[in-house]
Amino acid sequence: MQKKLTIRKAEESDIPNIIGLIKELAEYEKLLHLVELTETDLKNVLFGENKFVQVLLAEYDGSLAGQALFFNNFSTFLGKPGIYLEDLYVKPEFRSNGIGKALLNKLISIAKEKNYGRVEWCVLDWNKSAIDFYKSIGAVELEEWKIFRLTSDKF
């Protein structure tokens, strides 16, 4: 019997599960100690008055399997908006079932539908399996770019 994969937009009732997946990803990346996100924070950015984040959830045979959390960015060179993928996470027990690719394909279809210029994301340099996966779908590594960050404690 073939397993069924469903990709859907998150609903407000999904907030605890979304935070759970964010924490699982953070633990995998050895960054769990940096997670400060609360349900209220997430509710505000997903469903509040100034919402700007979206989440796609993947369900595999009725079980929560992964998510893509993203928001819009803008390319001054292209003169078009794009999608920035903040988190792509598939639970370990569901990997190798095409779920990550399905989530990315959904983002790509959203970008095409809205005539966006690009879909971008970052990956940790030690995460070889993710890097290999991204390259296998045609993503290009931008080696000449460095990411800089200024956190609110430095404002």
Residue 65 is predicted with a pLDDT of: 98
Structure tokens at 119: 């879909």
Asked if 57 and 85 count as a contact pair (C-beta separation under 8 A), the reply is: no
Residue 1 is predicted with a pLDDT of: 64
Asked if 47 and 53 count as a contact pair (C-beta separation under 8 A), the reply is: no
- Give the domain range for residue 18: 5-154
Nearest-angstrom CA–CA distance, 63 and 103: 15
CATH label of the domain that carries residue 103: 3.40.630.30
Q: Which of 60, 89, 116, 134 is catalytic?
A: 134
Q: Which of 107, 147, 104 is nearest to 124 (CA)?
A: 147
Nearest-angstrom CA–CA distance, 101 and 133: 9
Residue 151 is predicted with a pLDDT of: 85
Mean per-residue pLDDT pooled into runs of 10, the chain (155 residues): 90 98 97 97 97 98 97 97 98 96 97 97 94 94 92 89
pTM of the model: 0.94
Asked if 116 and 82 count as a contact pair (C-beta separation under 8 A), the reply is: yes
Rounded to 5°, the CA angle 25-73-132 comes to 45
Residue 152 is predicted with a pLDDT of: 87
Any catalytic annotation for residue 134? yes
The domain total for the chain is 1
Q: In what order do the strands lie in the sheet containing 5-9? A: 5-9, 53-60, 63-75, 80-90, 119-121
Rounded to 5°, the CA angle 10-128-62 comes to 30
Nearest-angstrom CA–CA distance, 153 and 155: 6
Residue 94 is predicted with a pLDDT of: 97
